[in-house]
Amino acid sequence: MLRPPKPGRMLWITAVLGGCFVAIQWGLRDAPVLWFAALRAIVAGVVLLALGAVQRRPLPAGARAWGRIAILGLVNVTLAFAAMFAGAAAGATGTAAVLANAQPLLILLPAWWLYGESLCARTTTALLVGFAGLLLVALPGGGGKGAALSLLAAAAVTAGTLLARRLGPIDVVVATGWHLLIGGIVLAGAAGAIEGAPAIAWTPRFIGSLSFLAVVGTAATTVAWFTEARRSRMDDLTAWTFLTPVFGILLSLVLLGERPRSWTLAGLLVVLVSLRLATRPTRRDATVADQTDDRAR
């Protein structure tokens, strides 16, 4: 039975993902784009697989399960991370940053087609309003030449979220670890072919950025995200990603001293209002809750 995602969990996920934009910019000063992206995935995968081994979590069984994990790795890691990091390296600000968080809109029709999740008029309207609010934040800053790459990253992450529902009973920690490791290894191969040998300056700044991105911004958030993707409606889940740019702007204010302008504040207000509308309990949620209570009794 599908249910709304846990607000507390979604708040820390989006806050961490907002911080990842700052960490990526810092780390790119010391490492090539694709090698940095590959290291993020590989380190995160190794951490989760080590955790799974310590906790003696079961390995995926059968070629079908491994095939799903491999496809998820190629889409959600190899393609998404490459596009995300390349977009950031290209100076993808403004509109490009918004496009990187277009998942709530991109997922509506596929979720209806694949999983039969009917489109609620209020939620759809709220998502459109929220995206308009992000555009209000972004457009004055320009799209940057990384806009197309950022949209590609959003599309790949959207596909990854849809595929995560297909993992079925596979242990989420082990599946997440293996898909990160597989996708990261393929990405490292692409990095070697395109960028050559890794020319990385292992400065404290880079080590800190990589550690945060891999352990907190990838391993922890992906496990939590996949957990919610298995048991929540896609529109309810992805609506929360509108908060990622909000946290990114707030962190830029705190860490970089960037002061938001009037249109930025207006856009953020629109985003918060739309999120409140999108996540407000509906009759559908009340019915699910009543059915759950009846079963419990």
Per-residue pLDDT at 247: 79
Percentage of the residues of the chain whose pLDDT score is greater than 90: 40
* Whether the predicted pLDDT of 263 surpasses 80: no
Per-residue pLDDT at 271: 67
Q: Give the confidence band of 179 by pLDDT, cuts at 50, 70, 90.
A: very high
Q: Which two tokens stand for residue 279?
A: 């996540």
SS3 102: coil
Q: Give the confidence band of 294 by pLDDT, cuts at 50, 70, 90.
A: very low
Per-residue pLDDT at 265: 67
* Whether the predicted pLDDT of 108 surpasses 80: no
Helix or strand run (H / E) with residue 152: helix 147-164
For 16, residues 6+ apart whose C-beta sits below 8 A from its C-beta are: 216, 217, 220, 221
Per-residue pLDDT at 188: 97
SS3 145: coil
CB 19 within 8 A of CB 212: yes
Q: Would you list the domain boundaries of the chain?
A: 7-288
72/243 Cα distance (integer angstroms) = 24
Break the chain down into helix, strand, coil percent, rounded to 5.
Answer: 80, 0, 20
Mean pLDDT over 235-256 rounds to 75
Mean pLDDT over 221-249 rounds to 83
* Whether the predicted pLDDT of 208 surpasses 60: yes
The pTM of the full predicted model, rounded to 2 decimals, is 0.81
Q: Give the confidence band of 286 by pLDDT, cuts at 50, 70, 90.
A: very low
* Whether the predicted pLDDT of 248 surpasses 80: no
Mean pLDDT over 55-62 rounds to 93
14/235 Cα distance (integer angstroms) = 15
Q: Is the model more confident about 146 or about 82?
A: 82
* Whether the predicted pLDDT of 288 surpasses 70: no
Mean pLDDT over 116-141 rounds to 69
Mean pLDDT over 216-228 rounds to 94
CB 247 within 8 A of CB 17: yes
226/230 Cα distance (integer angstroms) = 6
CB 228 within 8 A of CB 5: yes
Q: Is the model more confident about 77 or about 3?
A: 77
Q: Is the model more confident about 67 or about 165?
A: 67
Mean pLDDT over 226-252 rounds to 80
Q: Which two tokens stand for residue 10?
A: 């979604």
Q: Give the confidence band of 289 by pLDDT, cuts at 50, 70, 90.
A: very low
